[in-house]
Structure 1
Amino acid sequence: MSRRAVCYSRFSTDLQNERSIEDQEALVRRYCQLHDLKLVELYSDAAQSGASLFGREGLLELLSDAKAAKFDCVVVEELDRLSRDMEDLAGIHKRLTFAGIDIIAVHEGTASTVTVGLRGLVGQLYREDNSRKVRRGLQGLVREGRSAGGKPYGYKADPANKGRLLLMEEEAAVVRRIFEDYAAGKSPRSIARELQIEHAPVPRGGASWSANTIYGWAVRGSGILRNHLYAGQLVWNKVRMVKDPDTGRRVSRPNPPSEWQITDVPEYQIVPTELFDRVQEMIAPRARTRKEVGSMRRPVRLLSGLLRCGSCGAGMSTKGKDKSGRYRIECSRQRDTGSCPNPQTFYLDRVEQAVVNVLRKELKHPKLLVEYVQAYNEARVEYASKLQKKRSVLEKRVRDLDAECERLISFIAKGVGNTDRLGAQYQLRCDELDAAKLELSREPEPLTAVTLHPAALKAYAEDLERLSEAMNSRLSAGYTEISRLLRELVHSVVVRRGKEPGEIEITLNGKLRSLLAQPLVKSGVGGVVVAAGGIEPPTYGL
C-alpha cells in the first residue's frame, strides 16, 4: 500500500517568481510518482521568510494535520523550504518524528537528526551571510552619498538616478519653517497644531502632524529637528533591526552614535548650518537626576499610560483641574493636532471608579474566567484552521486558472492547435479566473491560530487572584500593588461617551491576545454607567 505524502513549498519574498511554488510542487509530484507515494495534499507559503514560523499559515496547517495523522511523510524540494532557522527546523523535525512522520527532501532523501542539524546550520549561516552582504552594500551606497532606503520628508527619489534624492520645495519650505519657529521659541506642539490647521503636507505614513513627528526621540535620533540630512549630512545606521524570536516581528534597536555612518551631501541641504546647530543645542538632552529617573518609572495615576480615546484610538492625558480641583482628561491627538473626529473630555476620577467597578465584577470568579479563556482559545484554533483551509483551496484555484490562461496564450502565440477553439477556451478560463479572484477577495483574512502556554495561563490566573483580593480591600492592599497588577493584566482602557447624557462607556483590553470575557450588563455607579465593559483581546501583541 502506498504511503500518504504531502508537499510543502515556499518562496521568500514578493520580489521572487510566484511560479516557484508551482515548480516545487511539480518536482514533488514527479518524486512521488517515482517512489510510489500517494500525494494527498499540498501546503504552501508564498512570499514568507524561512527565518521564522510566524505568518507561515501553510506550515502551521501542515503541523496541525500531522497531529491528526492525516499523512505519513512530508516531501520538500530541500529542507530549507521548511525553515532556515536551526531551532525551528529541529523543532519541526522533532514534532513530525514524534507523530511518526518522515521528512523527505527530493535531493537528499529521508531527513535524519544529522542532516537536519547540518541543513539547519547551513540555512541559518546562509541567511546571516546574506544579511551581512546587504548591510555591506548599503554602507557602500551611503559612502557614495546615495540614500540607503526610505523617503525623508522634503525629498523624493530621483527616477533617473538610483539612490539619489530630489528636493521637494513645498515640503522643504515646511522644514525650514519648523526650524525657524522652534528657534524662535515655539513648542513642537504649537508648531504641529499650526501646520495641521494650515493643511501642510504631512510626512509619509502619518495621518496628521504631531509634536513627536517634529521633536522625535533623542536615543534614536528621530524627528524632523534631529535629521542631519537637512544640514547636508547623510546619517545611516542609527538603528538596527532584529527579529523577536517569540513574536516573529522585526523590532528596531538604537545604535550608539559612535556606530553611525556620516557622509557629507551638501547638495541635499535645506536648513542653514548655523540655524541647524542652534536648534541642536536647544534640544540637547540634559542628564536626569537619579530622583527624576526613579519617578518616571512609577505611574502617576492608577490608569496612567492605559487610557485610549474611543473616537480615534490615541492616548489620553490630563487637561488640568476644574474649579473644584477635579482632574480632567482629553484626547492627546486632539490636544496636539486638533484632528480627533469626536473629541471628548472626561473627569478622571469617574473613569477610574468605572474601571474599578468593572474589575470587581469581572474578578468575582477568576477561575471561571480562566476556563473561559481556555475554551475560547480552543474554538478559535479550530475556526482559524477551517478558515485557512477554505482560503487555501481558493488561492490554489486562482493559481491553477492563471497558469492555464498563460499556457493557452502561449499556444495561441505559437500557432499550436486550432486558434478559434483555443481562443474560446482562453476566454472561458479568464471568466473563471475573474470569478475565482472575486470569491477570494470576499473571503475574510485568516486568523492566526493562537494557543496559550500553560505557564502563561498559570501566571495569568495567579495575577487575577491577587488583583481580585486587592480590589476587594483596596485601602489595605496599597495603591502601588493595585497599579502594578492592573498593568500585568490590562493592555488599554478605551473611553467613550455612552448613548445617554452623562454616561461613560469603557472597554478593558486584556494583555493576553486570546483573552475574552462576557460583556457586562449596564450598571450605574454614582451617575457613571459602565457599558460593554468586558475584558476583550487587543488588536496586537501580548
Structure 2
Amino acid sequence: MIRAAIYARFSSDRQKDRSIDDQIALCRDLCAREGMAVISTFEDRAISGSAAVNRPGFQALMQAAENSLFDVVVAEDMDRIFRDQADYHNARKRLDFLGITLHTASGKVGTIDGALRALMSEQFIENLRVHTRRGLEGVLRDRRHAGGRAYGYRAVKDKPGELEIVEEEAEIVRQIFADYIAGKTPRQIAHDLNKRSVRPPRGRLWNGSTINGHVARGGGMLLNDLYAGRIVWNKVRMVKDPTTGKRLSRPNPREQYKIVEVPHLRIVDDDTFKTAQLIKIERRRDATPATAQKARAPKRVFSGLIRCGSCGGGMCSVGSDRKGLRLQCSAYRESGSCDNGRRIYLNDIEALAIKGLRQHLAHPAVITEFVDAYNAERKRLKKEATTERARLERRLGEIGREMKRIVDCIVITGMPPEQFVGRMQELEAEKAKVTAGLDSAKESDNVIALHPKALDRYKRAVVELSDHLKRGTPMEFATIRELVTAIIVHASPSRPGGAGTKANTEDDRTVRIDIKGRLAALCGNPALFPNMAMSGGSLVAGEGLEPPTPGL
C-alpha cells in the first residue's frame, strides 16, 4: 500500500484552527479513494507560505522524506505547500530524487503544471502586496493612521485607523521638546524620565535613542511629524531576506513620503517642532570631519570586550583628553539604569590587562593545570560518548524493526492503517531524538588531544604580548583576542564631588579588572580551570599601575 503524508497550513492568525482540520479531512478522503495509507500529518498554523525556511511543519515533512517514511505528499492545493517558485523547485528536485510524488485534491502534480501553479501562487503574493498598499493609501487619504504605535496616542475603539490624544502622555511629549530646546541632550532627558519612573513607549526604560531617533528612517520622538499634526507614511519599505525569510526594513527617499495634515492630532505647535529640528541639524553639524575620522579609526585590541562590573553592560567611548581615550558604562549614559558613572582611561585598562595576561598565563603551573584538565576531561567525554552511542544504536535498530513490523501488518493482513498512526508518530519522534543523540555523541567523540604544537603556539602568543600595544595589525589583535573573552572593570561609582576633589578618596579612584579567558571553555567545564577567572590587578587613577597579585 502507498504510504501518504498530509500537509496542511493556514497563513494568518485571524483565520481559525478549524481550517487545518478541514484540510486534513479533505486529504484523508482523497487518500481513502486512491487507496493510500496515511502514515502521518504535518501542519503549520498561522504561518505564511512565502518562505519555507520559517515553517517548522514543512521542515519536519522534508526531514521525514529524507528518512523515507512515506511515498506521497498530499495537500489540499499547491498554495498550501508553496508560495514561492524557488521553494517549489528546490523541494520538488529533492522529492523526485527520493522517489516521492506530490498530490492535491485535483490529482497528481506534474512537472509543468506544478511549475505553473507555483508561479501563480507567487504572483498571488505579489498582487496581495499591491492591493494591501493601495488599501493603506486609501486609509491615508481618509486622514486616518495607516499603522504603527506612537507615544501620546491611542486607537479609537471600533474605528480602525483613528487615533486620539492621551493627555498624560502628551504632557510628557511637550516636556521632552521643551527640555531639548532648552539645551538638554536626549540622554539627559531619558535619565530624568527614568528617575521620575515615567513609563516609556515600550520596554522598561527610556533611552537616548528613543528620543533622538534615526534621521534616515525618520524614527524617534523628535522626528515624529505626527506631534506637529502631520501623518507621514511610506518612510520605510519591507523586504524579505531570501536566505532567512525574515522581513527587514529599508528607508525610502523623502520624495516617496506620503504626507497628510491632521490638525486634531497636534501635540506641539509648529514653531516648537521646527525649532527642535533646527537644533538637531546644528548638533549634527558639530560632528566635525576630524571627529568622524576618529570614529572610523581602527579598533583597539580589546574593542567590544570591556564591560561594566556593576551592571554587566558594555563600556563606550566618551571622548578623550591629553591622557587618552576615556570609557564609561553605556547603560549609565543611555538610560541611567546603572549607577556607575566612572570614566576610565582605555590606555590604563589595556596596559593592566596585558600585564595580567603575561604574568598569569605564562606561569608553568597554569599551563600544566590546563593540559591535565583538558586531557582528563577529553578521556571522560570519549568514554561516555562510546557507551551512549552503543545504547542509541541499539535503540535505533529496535525502532526500525518495530516500524517495519507495523508496515508489514498493514500490507499483509490488511488491517486499517488508522490504528497505527499514533504509534508510528511516537516512533518517528523517538527516532528523530535518537538520531540527534547519535550526532551529538559523534561530535563528543571527535574531541582531539591537545597537540604539543598548540601549546607552543599558546606560549609564543603570551610572550609576544606588549605592554605598550595601542594600535597594531589585525593579526596582532587576533593573537591577544584568542586568549580573552571579556574584561570586567570594577570601579566604585564617583561621588558628587568629582574626580580630584576631597570627596573622592583613594579607594574611590581604585579600579580592578577581571579577565575572562577562553581556556576554561576548551575544557568544557569552567570549574576545572578556576584560575582563568582571575583578577588582573588594580590601578589608582592618576598614579599608574599596581602589579597583579601572584597566584590569583
Does the aligned pair in 1 maintain the 2:213–2:219 contact within 8 Å?
Answer: yes
Structure 2 match to 1:134: 132
Q: Distance in 1 between matches of 2:308 and 2:289?
A: 33
Does the aligned pair in 2 maintain the 1:53–1:88 contact within 8 Å?
Answer: yes
Q: Secondary structure at the match of 1:248?
A: coil
Does the aligned pair in 2 maintain the 1:495–1:507 contact within 8 Å?
Answer: no
Structure 2 match to 1:479: 472
Residues 48-98 of structure 1: CA distance to partner in whole angstroms, max 9, x if unpaired?
111112331111111111111111111111112112011111111111111
Percent identical across equivalent pairs?
36
Structure 1 match to 2:220: 223
Does the aligned pair in 1 maintain the 2:515–2:535 contact within 8 Å?
Answer: no
Residue range with higher mean Cα deviation, 134-143 or 336-345? 336-345
Structure 2 match to 1:317: 316
Q: Distance in 1 between matches of 2:205 and 2:152?
A: 16
Shift of the 14–306 alpha-carbon distance from structure 1 to 2, 3 Å rule, reads farther
Structure 2 match to 1:263: 260
Q: Secondary structure at the match of 2:43?
A: strand
> Radius of gyration: which is bigger?
2
Structure 2 match to 1:349: 350
Does the aligned pair in 1 maintain the 2:332–2:341 contact within 8 Å?
Answer: yes
Q: Secondary structure at the match of 1:130?
A: helix
Structure 2 match to 1:52: 51
Q: Secondary structure at the match of 2:53?
A: coil
Q: Distance in 1 between matches of 2:178 and 2:270?
A: 12
Give ranges in structure 1 of 5+ residues lacking alignment.
Answer: 387-446, 452-463, 509-514, 530-542
- TM-superposed deviation, 1:330: 4.2
Q: Distance in 1 between matches of 2:15 and 2:233?
A: 27
Structure 2 match to 1:192: 190
Structure 2 match to 1:518: 524
Residues 447-491 of structure 1: CA distance to partner in whole angstroms, max 9, x if unpaired?
9xx99xxxxxxxxxxxx9xx999967567997241488699999x
Report the residue type matching 2:524 in the other structure: Q
- TM-superposed deviation, 1:161: 2.5
Shift of the 177–288 alpha-carbon distance from structure 1 to 2, 3 Å rule, reads closer
- TM-superposed deviation, 1:112: 2.7
Q: Distance in 2 between matches of 1:94 and 1:481?
A: 44
RMSD value over aligned CA atoms?
A: 4.5
Structure 2 match to 1:539: none
Report the residue type matching 1:206 in the other structure: G
Q: Distance in 1 between matches of 2:68 and 2:85?
A: 25
Structure 2 match to 1:248: 245
Does the aligned pair in 1 maintain the 2:238–2:248 contact within 8 Å?
Answer: yes
Structure 1 match to 2:276: 279
Q: Secondary structure at the match of 1:270?
A: coil
- TM-superposed deviation, 1:155: 0.5
Kindly indicate whether residue 18 of structure 2 is the aligned counterpart of residue 15 of structure 1.
no
Structure 2 match to 1:73: 72
Report the residue type matching 2:474 in the other structure: E
Q: Distance in 2 between matches of 1:320 and 1:291?
A: 13
- TM-superposed deviation, 1:113: 2.5
Q: Distance in 2 between matches of 1:157 and 1:112?
A: 50
- TM-superposed deviation, 1:38: 0.7
Does the aligned pair in 1 maintain the 2:3–2:70 contact within 8 Å?
Answer: yes
Does the aligned pair in 2 maintain the 1:302–1:352 contact within 8 Å?
Answer: no
- TM-superposed deviation, 1:322: 11
Shift of the 153–36 alpha-carbon distance from structure 1 to 2, 3 Å rule, reads same
Does the aligned pair in 1 maintain the 2:515–2:533 contact within 8 Å?
Answer: no
- TM-superposed deviation, 1:495: 4.7
Structure 2 match to 1:61: 60
- TM-superposed deviation, 1:288: 7.2
TM-score (norm 2): 0.66
Residues 363-420 of structure 1: CA distance to partner in whole angstroms, max 9, x if unpaired?
x99xx9xxx9xxx9xx9xx9xxx9xxxxxxxxxxxxxxxxxxxxxxxxxxxxxxxxxx
- TM-superposed deviation, 1:496: 7.9
1:434-453 matched pairs, under 5 angstroms: none
Shift of the 524–39 alpha-carbon distance from structure 1 to 2, 3 Å rule, reads closer
1:115-194 matched pairs, under 5 angstroms: 115-194=113-192
Q: Distance in 1 between matches of 2:293 and 2:38?
A: 63
Kindly indicate whether residue 509 of structure 2 is the aligned counterpart of residue 504 of structure 1.
no
Report the residue type matching 1:215 in the other structure: N
Q: Distance in 2 between matches of 1:474 and 1:505?
A: 15
Report the residue type matching 1:47 in the other structure: A
Shift of the 186–487 alpha-carbon distance from structure 1 to 2, 3 Å rule, reads farther
Q: Distance in 1 between matches of 2:153 and 2:168?
A: 10
Q: Distance in 1 between matches of 2:76 and 2:522?
A: 41
Q: Could you say which structure has the greater relative contact order, defined with CA pairs below 8 angstroms and 6 or more residues apart? A: 2
Q: Distance in 1 between matches of 2:52 and 2:356?
A: 38
